[in-house]
């Protein structure tokens, strides 16, 4: 018996497009809404302050893929020259349970997170939305622009980071990759929030957040997409929106119940993105105040991992190791 090992270089060499990942994530949401996904809330440990390590198992029926991701986020890593997020993933044979692949999942996490936001934009952005705002210009700030441009006709992208050098570097790197839109540097986050139809916050997940974006900082109608838990948007935003959805209701409510995150955020969630994509929430592409709080779910990881695995087998990429 043997399994396939895929390094990050192997994964990236497959040149999987954002559209491919978005389509896989959208299908995963739909199957979840149809009750075909097994997705327990992710258990985790916190070995250091403002750190987490989560285990994320999932089974996605119809696609018939099962696996688990082991992912960490350490706030102090960038100062050490290390990535904030690191992850590996194991794919199993759904028939026998034997592992068939171990692969880097840092790339998967970066891209599938942005793809989930792109699906939310596709199903929830108001008609005529053409401006995107991004607060936090790290890995997620980059992948979100590349994913959302696939589903939204962008004219302007407003960007801000507390480290000013990051803003300049971001514009130099991303402008050639998004030539259809003007990338506008912002001195503060309010320039982003007050000019954007869609606002993505991609700061760090912390245990005691100093939330800074209030309802008064946003447009009359907006789509807010926090991928940093409750680190950015104040509770008045989450409670005032006309539509509040999450990627997984159970995971959000279990996490909120532990009273570490989401204090003051809604206690009741009517719909999650599975309901939205499966058509159970009605048409949400209307002018309104909306929030899609996306914590990240394992079903997205495993469907993207299957996409990677299938292409790697076809192209002979990776190293086979004995069990």
User: Cβ neighbours of residue 5 under 8 Å, at least 6 residues apart?
Assistant: 101, 102, 103, 318, 319, 320, 321
Crossing angle for the helix pair 106-124 and 298-315, to the nearest 10 degrees? 120
Answer for the pair 302, 40: CB distance below 8 angstroms, yes or no: no
Cβ count within 10 A of residue 234: 19
Active site residues: 69
In DSSP terms, 83 is beta-bridged to: none
Distances (CA, A) of 134 to 105, 142, 316: 24, 9, 38
């Amino acid at each position: 018996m043997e399994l396939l090992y895929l390094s990050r270089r192997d994964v990236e060499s497959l040149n999987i497009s954002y559209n491919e990942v978005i389509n896989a994530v959208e299908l995963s949401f739909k199957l979840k809404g149809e009750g075909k996904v097994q997705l327990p809330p992710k258990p985790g440990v916190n070995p250091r302050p403002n750190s987490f390590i989560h285990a994320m198992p999932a089974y996605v029926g119809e696609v018939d893929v099962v696996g688990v991701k082991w992912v960490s986020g350490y706030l102090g890593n960038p100062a050490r020259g290390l990535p904030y997020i690191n992850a590996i993933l194991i794919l199993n044979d759904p028939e026998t349970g034997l592992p068939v692949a171990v692969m880097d999942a840092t790339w998967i996490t970066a891209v599938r997170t942005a793809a989930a936001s792109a699906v939310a934009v596709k199903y929830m952005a108001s008609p005529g939305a053409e401006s995107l705002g991004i607060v936090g210009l790290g890995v997620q700030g980059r992948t979100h622009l590349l994913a959302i441009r696939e589903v939204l006709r962008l004219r302007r992208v407003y960007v801000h980071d507390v480290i000013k050098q990051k803003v300049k570097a971001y514009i130099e790197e991303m402008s050639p990759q998004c030539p259809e839109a003007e990338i506008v540097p912002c001195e503060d986050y309010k320039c982003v929030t007050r000019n954007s139809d869609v606002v993505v916050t991609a700061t760090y997940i912390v245990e005691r957040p100093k939330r800074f974006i209030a309802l008064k900082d946003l447009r009359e109608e907006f789509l807010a997409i926090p991928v940093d838990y409750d680190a950015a948007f104040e509770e008045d935003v989450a409670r005032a929106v006309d539509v509040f959805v999450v990627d997984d209701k159970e995971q959000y409510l279990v996490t909120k119940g532990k009273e570490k995150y989401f204090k003051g955020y809604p206690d009741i969630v009517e719909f999650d993105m599975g309901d939205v994509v499966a058509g159970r929430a009605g048409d949400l592409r209307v002018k309104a105040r909306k929030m899609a709080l996306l914590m990240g779910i394992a079903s997205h990881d495993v469907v993207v991992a299957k996409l990677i695995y299938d292409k790697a087998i076809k192209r002979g990429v990776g190293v086979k190791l004995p069990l």
